[in-house]
Amino acid sequence: MPTRRAGPESRNLLVYFLLSIGIGVLISVLVSGGDLSFQTFAVGAFVGAVVFPCSYLFGALIEPWCQRFPKGLASALLAVAYALGGTVGSVLGLAVGRTLILGVPFALPSASGLGIIPIITAILALAVALPARAYEALKARLSDSIERLKAAEYAEKELELARAIQQRLLPPASLTGAGFAVAARNIPAHHVGGDFYDVFRLEDGKLGLAVADVAGKGMGAALIMATAKAVVPLLAAGRGPAEALAALNAKLRRELSRREFVALAYGIYDAASGVLTLANAGLPEPYLLRPGAPPRPLASAGPRFPLGVKANVAYENLSVTLAPKDRVLFLSDGLPEAPGANGEPLGYAALEALLDLSAARSADEAAELVLSRVTAAASGPLDDDATVLLLERTTPVIGA
């Protein structure tokens, strides 16, 4: 951390110190009945030079203690401290100044000679030392605020960078091939999120599709998301969806803490036959969107525990054959849990009412339509990350 330069603070204190000397000289002349002799000037200057550091020191010592009180009381106590410091400075200044300048023996002023001291104390403490200390305190607070703003700006830039990196980890939002079209959208609730999707080719030419939701939000969830996304294609190689989820569950079970888990739906699509085989570990059920038919949830049998929650989970596969123009919508729970008009979650029934996508001419239009309808139905910004991945079969069934 860079250290603060003392130059400006030292110059400000010097100005107040010289002002204190000037006021001391003025009071000395007034008290002496207008005597403009060197001795009058010198004694007044000396008293002013002693009063300021004494008042400032008393205030600096008591200020941290005053901060525990309400603002008005703290200011009053601080003024009293400056007045006491000024009184001590006046007594010492008069005693030492007379000895050094007038040559009289050193002696503290008598009670009868203290009449002028409260005036000197009040003027110097309240007109010089108190504003000086208040100015320095205000300047320190402003400096701290500037440092905090700089730190917040730096953190903002770091989050923007993290978001850009995270978005680059995701595959293209649109992908087409012989027999299929895929469109995906990901909207983090914060700068970075825990949702992700993936689309990848398997060794046998089939297509792997995954949508996942990591527990939590922010940077921690984003780091788990990056880890999970990196291993899904590796563990999917040579395995069916249920087997892949079981292998991923075993890995995450060892690596995640008790409060961390990943909900994930994974499917394998065979474009040649139109067969989609999927398994689900805690994510909302994907929907089969068939023209002229209501949305049909594709519910996998067997346990649905999110990955990392329980050991040795036997996930099960579900297979469905897609006809031309059939679509399957994978989604995270940020959509059904979007805040509704009454403040309650939107819910699955309301979500299903929004899934008539027959007007969408392409998978891209359909994915955009889902998000735009959910956003319009929500009463405010989405509280959670939202991800959709839509698979559409684009070729006729062979032999039909």
> Which positions ≥6 away from 100 have C-beta within 8 Å?
46
Q: How does pLDDT run across 95-126, given as a tens digit for each residue? A: 787 788 887 787 776 655 555 555 556 666 65
| pLDDT bracket for residue 153 (50, 70, 90) | low
Residue 3 has pLDDT above 50, yes or no: no
Would you give the distance in Å from CA 66 to the centre of its chain? 32
pTM of the entire predicted model: 0.60
Where are the chain's structural domains?
A: 7-159, 172-393
Q: Report, as an integer, the average pLDDT of 136-162.
A: 66
Would the pLDDT of 399 be above 50?
no
CB hemisphere CA count around 305 (13 angstroms): 17
Average pLDDT, stretch 44-59?
A: 78
Between the alpha carbon of residue 162 and those of residues 169, 184, 220, 252, 361, the distances in Å are 11, 20, 12, 23, 34
Q: In the chain, pLDDT over 90 holds for what percent of residues?
A: 28
Give the range among 237-246, 264-273, 383-392 with minimum mean pLDDT: 383-392
Q: Is the pLDDT of residue 355 over 80?
A: yes
pLDDT at 131: 63
Tell me the CATH number for domain 172-393.
3.60.40.10
Q: How far apart are CA 318 and CA 295, in angstroms?
A: 17
Mean pLDDT of 342-361: 88
pLDDT value for 48 = 76
Q: Between 28 and 182, name the one with better pLDDT.
A: 182
pLDDT of amino acid 271? 93
Check pLDDT > 60 for residue 388: yes
- The structure tokens listed for 110 are 């008598």
Share of the chain above pLDDT 70, in %: 76
pLDDT at 4: 45
Span 177-201, average pLDDT = 82
192 pLDDT more than 60: no
CA distance 247 to 312: 9
